[in-house]
Amino acid sequence: MKKNNSQEEILGILTTKAALKQVIYDHTTGAFNLLKDSMKELVHDLAGQMQDPDPRIVPEFKDYGKFAAQVRVAGDTLVCSMHTNIFEFNREHKIWEVPYVKKDPLNSYCGIINIYNFLTDSFKYNRLQDLGYLIARIFINKENHFFVEGKRQTAFQYKNFSKLTVSKRSLKEIVERAILYSMQFDLLVPPYDNVKIISVEQMSAKILSSLQQTGKRLGFQFNSDDVLEE
């Protein structure tokens, strides 16, 4: 059967872009498994170094399957999640200024692992309206190279996209820095006027949990910091 132009185009995409995305997905899955091993190892290391610890502050690791895991460190919980899709960057992103990507634009296609910071009590008391904050994103490409986008205060040093390859050691360091960043910030008291009035319905719904939505740095606008360089 003779192929028409549309079929040829479909076949071209299947053998290039679609195949590329499958390779990146496999690399991202492998990286996420390494990340979970790193989280588990870190929790074991920390727990082993604590002298007669209060059980409420002993670090804990939980594996939620193929795409999610968490580390609880006292009042902070870090949730790591792998997205199942592969992404391209918008044309305004700094990645397009990197020579590694200019040389081969396909290097810009990436899988994503997100790291969120939540309050431990949000899960403990099932406070479904509480807030979590994205503190880092790990991007992995077809060559298993990666970079981290996040808050500058985390001091992530993974800027050389063309040379950095995913490893257990690098992922463990990312988790350590994410935990440190999260633990350095405490809850802010919400403004009085935001909580001075509450309805009977709101009180009835929240009487068993909390009287207001809770999240770190309430009222502070998070912005992504650029961590790419040539």
Q: Which of 115, 116, 117, 112 is nearest to 83 (CA)?
A: 112
What is the per-residue pLDDT across 39-87, written as a single tens digit (0 to 9) for each? 999 999 998 898 888 888 889 999 999 999 999 998 999 999 999 999 9
Residue with the larger pLDDT of the pair 42 and 156: 42
Over residues 22-47, the pLDDT tens digits come to: 999 999 999 999 999 999 999 999 98
Strands 110-119 and 76-87: antiparallel
SS3 146: strand
Classify residue 228: in a domain, yes or no: no
Question: Lowest-pLDDT range, 5-9, 26-30, 120-124, 223-227?
Answer: 223-227
Q: Is 10 helix (H, G, I), strand (E, B) or coil?
A: helix
| Domain that residue 102 falls in | 5-206
- The domain total for the chain is 1
Query: Residue 3 has what pLDDT?
Result: 65
Residue 222 lies in a domain: no
Looking at residue 153, the DSSP 8-state letter turns out to be G
Residue of 89, 74, 104, 187 lying closest to 137 (CA atoms):
89
Instruction: List the beta bridge partners of residue 28.
Output: none
Contacts of 196 (CB under 8 A, 6+ apart): none
pLDDT tens digit sequence for 169-189:
999 999 998 998 888 876 666
Q: Is residue 64 part of a domain?
A: yes
Note whether residue 51 is domain-resident.
yes
Task: Supply 80's token pair.
Answer: 């790591």
> Considering the domain boundaries, does residue 52 fall inside one?
yes
How far is 26 from 111, CA to CA, in rounded Å? 9
Asked if the structure places residue 172 within a domain, the reply is: yes
| pLDDT the model gives residue 126 | 82
The answer as to whether 198 is a domain residue is yes
**In a domain? residue 211:** no
pLDDT of residue 224: 45
Smallest CA-to-CA distance from 117 within 154, 168, 147, 163 is with 154
